[in-house]
Amino acid sequence: MRAVVVTEPGRTALTELPDPRPQPGEVVVRVSSCGLCGTDMHLLDGELPAASYPLVPGHELTGEVVEVGEGVHSVAVGDRVAVNPNMPCGACHYCRIGRANLCADYRAVGVTQAGGFAELVAVPAACCHLVPEGFSETAAGLIEPLSCAVHGLNRLPRRPGEHYLIYGAGTMGLMMAALVRTAGAASVSVVDLNEDRLAFAETFGVDAAVTHADKLGRDEGFEVVIDATGVIAAIEDGLGRVRKGGTFLQFGVADPARSASFSPFRVYHHEIDIIGSMAVHNSFQPAIDVLAAGLNLDPLVSDVFGLEDFDEAVARFRAGTGRKIHISPLKRG
């Protein structure tokens, strides 16, 4: 099979690898789509301690089951599935208290084992979720990132009639915008420095899309502020715009070596909640259900590249060109 391999940090190669065979409890999926995300950039740059090289990256994947291993009964050959990449151990403290996304023995498809930027991938059958009939290929490929956003939404108080401010008009920021709108937000505003993304956000149902929160004219602040950038300057600005009694959600992935400054007195005096949201937690099937109920996120995907164009796709991602980028091993030339 063809696969993109990160041979070492900063170096990739499109190469031929042996077709995977399923171990007991596993299935082999023919990948139809796999999304690029910020985690892949960290992996490419050697910034994920859990990753070892060489490695086939890619964790936002969907495709068709083409082979099943011994003991697999939950899915069958021919089934169309989306793959939850996370594989908690089930035995550590966090797994035992119901916080499996914080598993102490972190393992994930496309991070600690071969992932979806390949024609075929072997994954645990337990990670496979059936894609409903009628789902577009685009929608199926968005299930994994949407499940992260659903978990983020579940971490919020979700009081109807509140005003939301989201930093970042990329895929994840706009997914959060779409979800909080369905949860009863009075208004949803986004901040981004990318003018093209702001222009698209205005067509995607947000109330305001600006380059700086000062332009929104809400001196009283916002009940909920969400960072979907991981950028320290955005985080610090956002923390200062949470209204009394409000909530700040750290949803974007920041550089682990960086710190943000804030006023502990203000957090105390204004009773501000600061919470985090990490990956997927009991939110994969709910994400599928949200899409099945009619949430249309297809416009978020701006580009689909083949495996041979992986480096170009990464360059577009890093440049902030377009929106969500999918890699399809089925696409050639």
Task: Output phi, psi for 61, to 5 deg.
Answer: -120, 150
The first and second tokens of residue 289, run together, are 């259900």
Query: Are 17 and 143 contained in the same domain?
Result: yes
Query: Are 318 and 186 contained in the same domain?
Result: no
Find tokens 């060489």 and name the residue.
54
The residue ranges of DSSP E strands in 151-299, in sequence order, are 163-167, 187-191, 208-210, 222-227, 242-250, 273-276
Cis ω for the linkage preceding 49 (within 30 of 0):
no
| pTM score over 0.85 | yes
Number of Cβ within a 10 Å radius of residue 255: 11
Number of Cβ within a 10 Å radius of residue 168: 26
Among 243, 258, 276, residue at a domain's last position: 276
Assigned domain for 333 exists: no
Query: Are 14 and 136 contained in the same domain?
Result: yes
Query: Are 79 and 117 contained in the same domain?
Result: yes
Which among 286, 331, 295, 293 is positioned nearest to 313, based on CA atoms? 331
Number of independent structural domains in the chain: 2
Query: Are 96 and 140 contained in the same domain?
Result: yes
Query: Are 318 and 236 contained in the same domain?
Result: no
Assigned domain for 104 exists: yes
Task: Output phi, psi for 223, to 5 deg.
Answer: -65, -35
What pLDDT does 207 receive? Answer: 98
Query: Are 161 and 269 contained in the same domain?
Result: yes
For 55, the 3-state DSSP assignment is strand
Query: Are 40 and 164 contained in the same domain?
Result: no
Query: Are 73 and 187 contained in the same domain?
Result: no
Q: What DSSP character marks residue 139?
A: H
Assigned domain for 332 exists: no
Q: What is the CATH number for 285? A: 3.90.180.10
Query: Are 222 and 263 contained in the same domain?
Result: yes
Assigned domain for 74 exists: yes
Q: What is the CATH number for 268? A: 3.40.50.720
Boundaries of domain holding 82:
2-147+280-327
What pLDDT does 64 receive? Answer: 98
Assigned domain for 199 exists: yes
Tens digit of pLDDT per residue, the chain (333 long)? 999 999 999 999 999 999 999 999 999 999 999 999 999 999 999 988 889 999 999 999 999 999 999 999 999 999 999 999 999 999 999 999 999 999 999 999 999 999 999 999 999 999 999 999 999 999 999 999 999 999 999 999 999 999 999 999 999 999 999 999 999 999 999 999 999 999 999 999 899 999 999 999 999 999 999 999 999 999 999 999 999 999 999 999 998 889 999 999 999 999 999 999 999 999 999 999 999 999 999 999 999 999 999 999 999 999 999 899 999 999 886
Among 257, 276, 295, residue at a domain's last position: 276
Half-sphere exposure of 37 (CA within 13 A, CB side): 25
Query: Are 319 and 290 contained in the same domain?
Result: yes
Amino acid at 229: T
Assigned domain for 200 exists: yes
What pLDDT does 331 receive? Answer: 87
What pLDDT does 49 receive? Answer: 87
**Quick one: CA dihedral 317, 321, 326, 330, positive or negative?**
negative
Query: Are 38 and 140 contained in the same domain?
Result: yes
Assigned domain for 50 exists: yes
What pLDDT does 333 receive? Answer: 62
Assigned domain for 98 exists: yes
Number of Cβ within a 10 Å radius of residue 167: 25
Q: CA-to-CA distance for 83 and 311, rounded, in angstroms?
A: 24
Q: CA-to-CA distance for 120 and 17, rounded, in angstroms?
A: 10
